[in-house]
């Protein structure tokens, strides 16, 4: 079945949406979980789409925030260095190329070095507007990043469509009052408005009046 949605801007997550970094993320967070005697599967389920220090605070609630931030910085440095196995989500390059005249922004829990490194490793270009971890005080599932991107693009949140894959990301987008297209079959469990297997076949056009049409 084909769905057609209209909006004024598109907001795009990175990991799991544009870039498949799952092997790297799983490897690093599994190491962290085992080092702290935690259930690996539980940590991996919570880690995707969020800033590291917020995940640490959830599993080690008695540890000082300063220690979480310090260790998060160490893990981010490792994530930046480890790019083996990172590839684009199928269709991502063509999808991004179709957005040349469409207001859009990247909204990611990664910092600038990590976002730049992963996008480059996947052969993708970072959009001109990007909201990263340096730009927010609250990580997804808080809506701050998406609301900030909408403000930068001067578009009402209700007129934005978000492409997301993770529980935290879908929750954040819905909290921002935005419609969500889940990327990947697993995203269907998190309550997006629609789901696509990947970005192959997603068609985006923009009319002269600024209306953005997304066909799934």
CA nearest to 135, candidates 156, 94, 106: 106
Q: Are residues 53 and 74 in the same domain?
A: yes
Integer-rounded Cα radius of gyration of the chain: 17
Take residue 38 and report the two structure tokens written for it: 């935690």
Q: Are residues 144 and 102 in the same domain?
A: yes
Q: Are residues 187 and 152 in the same domain?
A: yes
Q: Are residues 185 and 168 in the same domain?
A: yes
Q: Can you give the pLDDT at residue 49?
A: 76
Catalytic residues, by residue number, are 13, 15
Q: Which of 81, 104, 125 is the last residue of a domain?
A: 81
Q: Can you give the pLDDT at residue 2?
A: 82
Q: Are residues 111 and 101 in the same domain?
A: yes
Q: Can you give the pLDDT at residue 25?
A: 84
Q: Are residues 74 and 90 in the same domain?
A: no
| Residue where the block lists tokens 């490792």 | 78
Domain total for the chain? 2
- Buried b vs exposed e over 73-86: b needs ≥16 C-beta within 10 Å? eebbeebbebeeeb
CA distance 148 to 95: 23
Q: Can you give the pLDDT at residue 82?
A: 87
Q: Are residues 44 and 71 in the same domain?
A: yes
Q: Which of 81, 101, 125 is the last residue of a domain?
A: 81
Q: Which of 39, 61, 81 is the last residue of a domain?
A: 81
Q: Can you give the pLDDT at residue 5?
A: 96
Q: Are residues 11 and 50 in the same domain?
A: no
Q: What's the CATH code of the domain at 152?
A: 3.40.50.1000
Q: Can you give the pLDDT at residue 1?
A: 63
Find the domain containing 31 and state its range: 22-81
Q: Are residues 41 and 125 in the same domain?
A: no
User: pLDDT by residue for the chain (216 residues), tens digit each?
Assistant: 688 999 999 999 999 999 998 888 889 899 999 999 999 999 998 888 788 899 999 999 999 999 999 998 898 888 888 888 899 999 999 999 999 999 999 999 999 999 999 999 999 999 999 999 999 999 999 999 999 999 999 999 999 999 999 999 999 999 999 999 999 999 999 999 999 999 999 999 999 999 999 999
């Amino acid at each position: 079945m084909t769905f057609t949605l209209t909006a004024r801007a598109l907001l795009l997550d990175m990991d799991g949406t544009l870039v498949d970094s799952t092997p790297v993320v799983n490897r690093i967070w599994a190491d962290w979980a085992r080092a702290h005697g935690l259930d690996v599967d539980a940590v991996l389920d919570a880690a995707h789409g969020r800033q590291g220090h917020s995940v640490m605070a959830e599993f080690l609630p008695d540890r000082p925030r300063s220690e979480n931030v310090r260790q998060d910085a160490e893990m981010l440095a490792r994530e930046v260095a480890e790019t083996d196995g990172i590839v684009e989500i199928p269709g991502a390059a063509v999808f991004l190329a179709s957005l040349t005249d469409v207001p859009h922004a990247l909204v990611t829990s990664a910092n600038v070095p990590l976002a730049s490194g992963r996008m480059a490793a996947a052969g993708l270009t970072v959009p001109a507007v990007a909201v990263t971890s340096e730009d927010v005080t609250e990580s997804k599932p808080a809506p701050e990043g998406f609301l900030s991107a909408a403000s930068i693009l001067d578009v009402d949140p209700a007129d934005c469509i978000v492409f997301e894959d993770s529980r935290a990301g879908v929750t954040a987008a819905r909290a921002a009052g935005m419609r969500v297209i889940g990327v990947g079959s697993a995203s269907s469990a998190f309550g997006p408005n629609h789901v696509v297997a990947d970005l192959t076949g997603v068609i985006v056009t923009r009319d002269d009046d600024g209306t953005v049409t997304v066909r799934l």
